[in-house]
A and B are shown apart, each in its own frame.
Chain A
Amino acid sequence: MTNDEVVIEIRELKKIYRGSKTPALSNISLSIQRGSIFGLLGPNGAGKTTMIRILCGLLQTTSGDVFINGYSITKNIRLIRNFIGVVPQEIALYPTLTAYENLSVYGGIYGLHGHELKKRINELLILAGLEKNRHIQVKKFSGGMKRRLNLIAGILHKPEIIFLDEPTVGVDVQSRTAIITSLKEINRDGATIIYTSHYLEEAEELCNFIAIIDKGKVISQGTLAEIKQVHYNKEKSLEEIFL
């Protein structure tokens, strides 16, 4: 599903948090192709969440820039927000609202309304296997159900580019499989997915491009095959190479 068109270009991106001497991200440059599932992998504290937060405009860069669809995030973030979808690491849902109400709020903010909004919510509730729980308050959901709802809340408006920050963390195998399947489906519809995880086997299954970062630096990038070739271990898994 990928093509050669670069949808996200990260140039010399640097982030140093206030009061910290070591950079969270150190001169990172990456290109992400349209239609790809790009895995941003690394251990906890590597800088994955910082990178995602910068890409979706929640954090400012110390230096460098990011271009999404040709627009600079430092200058055109308001415009960029219209065609990105974000699935944060935490369950960013209103616990006292039902699944339907949460999706209605987020969909409405993206400009969906009326029949179109209802139809889209129904589609996604079916995709996440939550159609029977649509009128139940989110606080009564299991962890896996919340994760699935958290995911579909970020893709309601059919964004071109989706940022997912560890969407499968802390969920059971069943929910993880459901999320991975959903992501593949969304990607088949043309969305570019930028996905962070510290589960390397999950990335192997899902991603067609991978960047491995550690201590704020990219230590390896390319397709799965290219990374394995660089590390002379075609037979080994990513986990075996990097652990």
Chain B
Amino acid sequence: MMRALLKLIYKDTLVLIRDRGGLAMLFIMPAALVLIMTNLQDSTFRSINESGIKLILLNEDNDSLGLTLENEIIQSRLFKVYKQIGNKIPDEDEVREAVASGRFQIGFIIPKGATQLIRSQIRNNLAMLFSPENMPVSAGDSMYFKVYLDPITKISFRETLQSHVREMTTRIENQIIFSELSREISMRFPMAIRKPILLQKEAIFYKEEYATKEDNKVIPNSVQHNVPAWTLFAIFFVVIPLAGAMIKEREEGNLARLLTMPCSYFSIMLSKVIVYLIVCYLQYVLILAMGVYLLPLFNLPPLNIAGQLDVLSVMALAVALAAIGYGMAIGTIATTHQQAAIFASISVVILAAIGGIWVPVFIMPPVMRQLSVISPLNWALNGFYDILIRGARFSDILSTCIYLICFASACMLISIYYHRFKKEHI
């Protein structure tokens, strides 16, 4: 039994390594996938501050509000501010055209007389507060900043920008209100305030911290998020060559020959499990090494796996088993190579999509969120995130590993019983 198993492993290894194209697909493609996707997603994952959004500013006010706002915008690391287009200060139409053509993501216009307008509004309001009997007939016109946005920008991006702009203008407005209020008070009560009160600083602050288990110091970044996601996507793509190898073995008559020999269907399958488990593990090691050593060469943060290698390895083996089990079920049930290749690739893409590989599960519609729990890629992704981002230890990911191994066992049992069923019912 053991000798037969070793020979089967030898055979499956030789078949695999002689298929140079297939082997390249198993290692080069996942490596390329991780490299490209991590680079692509890095820009969207980075804080918006780091992106340097191009803003064309037209300050027609040139008074205190306009100058303060301009200064705030320039000092803000959110924008890369331009005041000229081709060495010329643009007018409003040119600003709009420049944004419409995509040269700038945002065009910001501070209208003429903005300071005057806001001051008079605030004074009116204060007058109403202190002398309601002298209420002005009209509250005055509202003041509008014109913000032109590139139409191809996403809604979330626009909302972020608007929120930043609104925050800045509100702060300036508050400062003006405060200075006008102190001026009014000092006028009315000259003994109460000896010098004008200035709004020194904000009173409410937020202290943000990532909620991690234990004393994990790993800072989430695009690499910590993308490397595990695309690693397990790549591991699951082992389904295609595995199912293909099984169908080829069956079509060539080798499986039938093996089944006339003193070796069971179980040992034929076990040999494949062992060989492909090694392949998946090597894939994982390769991609992990890329995350640690190669990605930093592309200006990406290095993958931080400090102290987590053992837990990660257990998780990778559980994922590999799930992928191999799935591949075996497809390889047994599919009748042709084409059928297996198409079904395997599309189903892995679907499982990855609903599993949160491309779009995080929490932003999915409720139905998709519920569906995501059926995807083993979702379990695995959560397991990897638990380890790499939340600092989980083995006991924390044990249940995820058990789910994955149960999935693998179920698929393998389907494979074995379907084979038996076919033999009995032909």
Contacts and interface: CB of A to CB of B under 8 A. Distances in A.
Do these two chains interact? yes
Contacts of A153: 257
B261 A110 contact: yes
B252 A95 contact: yes
Given A58-B260, A97-B15, 9 more contacts: A53-B256, A57-B260, A78-B262, A81-B262, A92-B254, A94-B252, A96-B15, A97-B18, A108-B3
Interface stretch (A29-37, A82-90, A228-236): A82-90
A109 B371 CA distance: 45
A18 interface: yes
Interface string A11-52: 000000110000000000000000000000000000000000
Interface in B363-414: none
Nearest to B17: A96
Nearest to A87: B257
A111 B4 contact: yes
A60 B14 CA distance: 32
A79 B8 CA distance: 20
A66 B249 CA distance: 28
6 contacts: A17-B426, A59-B423, A59-B426, A108-B4, A108-B7, A113-B3
Interface of B: 3-4, 6-8, 10-11, 14-15, 18-19, 252-254, 256-264, 423-426
Nearest to A137: B18
Interface string A63-99: 0000000000000001001101010111111111100
Contacts of B6: 108
A109 B262 contact: yes
A109 B7 contact: yes
Nearest to A59: B426
A98 to B, nearest CB: 9
A92 B256 contact: yes
A93 B258 CA distance: 10
A208 to B, nearest CB: 24
Contact of B14 (A86, A92, A96, A109): A96
Per CB-CB distance, the 5 closest pairs between chain A and chain B, nearest first, are: A108-B7, A92-B253, A96-B18, A90-B253, A92-B257
B423 to A, nearest CB: 6
Contacts of A81: 260-262
Interface of A: 17-18, 53, 56-60, 78, 81-82, 84, 86, 88-97, 101, 104-106, 108-111, 113, 137, 153-154
Contacts of A59: 423, 426
A94 B19 contact: no
B424 A60 contact: yes
Contacts of A137: 18
B274 to A, nearest CB: 15
Q: Name the prevailing secondary structure of the A interface residues.
A: loop
Contacts of B252: 90-95
Contacts of B19: 96
A101 B263 contact: no
B259 A58 contact: yes
A55 to B, nearest CB: 10
A53 to B, nearest CB: 8
Nearest to A52: B260
A18 B257 contact: no
Among B19, B257, B423, B426, the one with the most A-chain Cβ atoms within 10 Å of its Cβ is B257
A111 B11 contact: no
Contact of A88 (B3, B10, B253, B423): B253
B14 A101 contact: yes
Contacts of B257: 86, 88, 92, 106, 153-154
A5 B99 CA distance: 97
Contacts of B14: 94, 96-97, 101
B10 A108 contact: yes
Contacts of A106: 257, 261
Nearest to B14: A97
A240 B425 CA distance: 39
Contacts of B254: 92-94
Contact of B3 (A82, A111, A154): A111
Nearest to B16: A96
A82 B261 CA distance: 7
A108 B252 CA distance: 20
A81 B265 CA distance: 13
Contacts of B263: 109
A106 B262 CA distance: 10
A91 to B, nearest CB: 7
A94 B260 contact: no
Contacts of B256: 53, 58, 88, 92
Contacts of A110: 261-262
A222 B4 CA distance: 39
Nearest to A153: B257
Contact of A56 (B4, B11, B260): B260
A109 B260 contact: no
Contacts of B426: 17-18, 59-60
B10 A105 contact: yes
B146 to A, nearest CB: 69
Contacts of B253: 88-92
A18 B421 CA distance: 12
Among B6, B18, B262, B263, the one with the most A-chain Cβ atoms within 10 Å of its Cβ is B262
Contacts of B15: 94, 96-97
Contacts of B262: 78, 81-82, 109-111
B261 A60 contact: no
Contacts of A82: 262
A110 B262 CA distance: 6
Among B7, B15, B252, the one with the most A-chain Cβ atoms within 10 Å of its Cβ is B7
Contact of B260 (A86, A89, A91, A101): A86
